[in-house]
Amino acid sequence: MTRNRAGILYATALILLGIVMGGWHWMLVGISRDFGAGLAVGFTICLGAMGIILRSVREL
């Protein structure tokens, strides 16, 4: 497996983890006033994590 493909797989795994955690939170709490803010923060964290993972895999 190439390094770029490994980075994409790691990023995809993080995205899927975020979706599962968001779904779990949604089932426990429901959609409240702060749900959109949580999505925005989660999306920002996901983008940062993807950037770090892809950069670190390229530098290997």
pLDDT in the model for residue 18: 77
Domain locations along the chain: 3-58
Cβ(10)–Cβ(53) below 8 Å: yes
Buried b (16+ CB within 10 A) or exposed e, 3-35: eeeebeebbeebeeebeeeeeeeeeeeeeeeee
Q: What is the mean pLDDT of residues 55-59?
A: 64
For residue 42, name the pLDDT band (cuts at 50, 70, 90): confident
Q: What is the mean pLDDT of residues 51-59?
A: 69
User: In whole numbers, what is the pLDDT of the chain averaged over residues?
Assistant: 75
Q: What is the mean pLDDT of residues 33-57?
A: 75
Give the tens place of pLDDT for each residue, 12-33: 887 788 778 777 877 777 777 7
Cβ(46)–Cβ(18) below 8 Å: yes
